Amino acid sequence: MTALEGTPSVRRLTAWDPAELESRASEYGTPLYVLDLDRISENAQRLASAFPDAEILYAVKANALKDVLETLHGEGIGLECASAGELTRALDASDDGAAVHYTAVNPPAHDLDQVVEAWEAYPELTITAGSEDTIDRLADRGYDGRLCLRVNPGIGAGHHEKVQTGAAAKFGVPAERAVDVLADAAERSFDVVGIHAHVGSGVSSDQLDAHREFVSRMGEIARSVTEAVGDLEFVDVGGGFGVPYREDEQPLDLEAVANATREALGDVNAQLTIEPGRYLVADAGVLLTEINTVKAARDTTVVGVDAGMTTLLRPAMYDAYHPIRNLTAAREADSSDAERGREQIPQTIAGPICESGDVFATDRTLPASERGDVIAIGNAGAYGYEMANQYNSRPRPASVVTEDGTVRLARRRETIDDVTRVERER
């Protein structure tokens, strides 16, 4: 029996034990992120099984917690970084330059300075440039190492228009310029190793045609580059593999995506590289928050919680849906001595931020809430803490991880002193 047999392809919020999650909230306080490292390993193994011949890089921006990076590196997954800060964290977690890619998007000067300095210590790392200007700036800093070119194939897909990167002018060199740009880079003694593009984030099974068209275009570009410049090590088609946030959505047919990717790429004398982020960590994390206010409004019942858009930004930024479960009510229902069941009523779950957009759900039908109840917000392992902020001078939450049945604090809760320290220590 393999490690994956019997494990679901998606972990729903109802699969988390409500009593155990409540105990985490009691011990560590709320708001609190809980991450299951064993689930992250399962997701990594599932990807490796579907893409056995591909290089898999994890998009660090999804969740840069050191425990997450160490877990994925231990599973043989590389680390793709969108900033110098992420690159520093990836090297700290892996100490392996060959496993790290830096994908620059209009990189600030201090980012390039830091990345080139890291390259001097780790000459095996790969830098992906998204413009000729960035290549010039790297050359000015003495960089002539492993260079990948981000191209713009003109095809985008994803769960929201703000994350459909494949056709956005911000990202990459126009595909028709790729051969000339890489030929010039090779003449300037850069070690040209690959091409890269990313269609978008949260691609679902019903967007498979767009994904297939995008990968096919990348295969065409790779063959043109090979003919003009020479063999490439890899063709990186990004990640963007979606996960089902809604309870009635089916999980991504990963085998179908893998087969479509290989077929669409065609005959290319280079390794296929993929860069999943969300798929590896989303369903491995939940956000716990406590109810502090229940009030009857004109058209709904408003349930106030101690997490907000500063804790989990996705609902406010993308109108994103996240499953929600009242853990206290679920535990009561599971208890043998529970004599009552709560009425199911529509409720609006709102945070403490002074913005009308600070809402996690509107008119969501849930068991009637009571002050002190603990609520879990599911699929919070990706782009949760990474997008947390200190708006309204609110400290960011703590994170705990679970692994092999043990629980440990992975990141302490910030304090007001942390928020104001940069003003005092200047």
First to last CA, the chain: 58
Q: Distance between CA atoms of 78 and 236, rounded to whole angstroms?
A: 13
Q: Is residue 120 domain-shared with residue 269, that is, in the same domain?
A: yes
Q: Does the residue 73 lie in any domain?
A: no
At which of 276, 303, 319 does a domain end?
A: 276
Average pLDDT score over residue span 346-353: 98
For residue 127, list its beta bridge partners: 102, 147
At which of 258, 276, 294 does a domain end?
A: 276
Residue 104 — pLDDT band, cuts 50, 70, 90? confident
Q: Does the residue 377 lie in any domain?
A: yes
- Check pLDDT > 70 for residue 24: yes
Q: Is residue 245 domain-shared with residue 142, that is, in the same domain?
A: yes
Rounded to 5 degrees, φ, ψ at 45 are -65, -35
Average pLDDT score over residue span 115-144: 97
Provide the domain count of the chain: 2
**CB hemisphere CA count around 373 (13 angstroms):** 25
Q: Does the residue 38 lie in any domain?
A: no
Task: Tell me what pLDDT residue 97 has.
Answer: 97
Q: Distance between CA atoms of 343 and 165, rounded to whole angstroms?
A: 44
Q: Is residue 138 domain-shared with residue 235, that is, in the same domain?
A: yes
Annotated binding site: 240, 275-278, 314, 318, 355, 383
Task: Tell me what pLDDT residue 118 has.
Answer: 98
Q: Does the residue 45 lie in any domain?
A: no
User: Is the entire prediction scored with pTM above 0.85?
Assistant: yes
Q: What residues are annotated to the active site?
A: 354
DSSP 298: S
Q: Is residue 260 domain-shared with residue 289, that is, in the same domain?
A: no
At which of 276, 309, 334 does a domain end?
A: 276
- Under DSSP, is residue 81 helix (H, G, I), strand (E, B) or coil? strand
Q: Distance between CA atoms of 281 and 215, rounded to whole angstroms?
A: 24
Task: Tell me what pLDDT residue 238 has.
Answer: 85
Closest CA to 104 of 55, 68, 138: 138
Q: Does the residue 302 lie in any domain?
A: yes
pLDDT digits (tens, 9 = 90+) for 353-398: 999 999 999 999 999 999 999 999 999 999 999 999 999 999 999 9
CB burial of residue 318 (10 Å; 0-12, 13-18, 19+):
middle
Cβ count within 10 A of residue 267: 7
**Angle separating helix axes 132-140 and 109-121, nearest 10 degrees:** 60
Alpha helices in 308-398 (DSSP H): 314-318, 327-334
Annotated binding site for pyridoxal 5'-phosphate: 240, 275-278, 383
- Check pLDDT > 80 for residue 300: yes
Domain range enclosing 149:
104-276
**Higher pLDDT pick, 275 / 8:** 275
Q: Is residue 300 domain-shared with residue 254, that is, in the same domain?
A: no
Q: Are 384 and 32 spatial neighbours (Cβ–Cβ below 8 Å)?
A: no
Q: Is residue 322 domain-shared with residue 263, that is, in the same domain?
A: no
- Under DSSP, is residue 91 helix (H, G, I), strand (E, B) or coil? helix
**Element containing residue 326 per DSSP (H, E):** strand 324-326
**Element containing residue 302 per DSSP (H, E):** strand 301-305
CATH code assigned at 380? 2.40.37.10
State both tokens at 173.
Answer: 């060199």
Q: Is residue 228 domain-shared with residue 142, that is, in the same domain?
A: yes
Task: Tell me what pLDDT residue 167 has.
Answer: 54
| Strand-pair category, 32-36 with 285-296 | antiparallel
Q: Distance between CA atoms of 274 and 147, rounded to whole angstroms?
A: 17
Q: Are 237 and 215 spatial neighbours (Cβ–Cβ below 8 Å)?
A: yes
DSSP 203: B
CATH code assigned at 272? 3.20.20.10
Q: Distance between CA atoms of 126 and 97, rounded to whole angstroms?
A: 8
Q: Does the residue 97 lie in any domain?
A: no
Task: Tell me what pLDDT residue 426 has.
Answer: 80
Q: Does the residue 206 lie in any domain?
A: yes
Q: Is residue 213 domain-shared with residue 345, that is, in the same domain?
A: no
* Amino acid (1-letter code) at residue 362: T
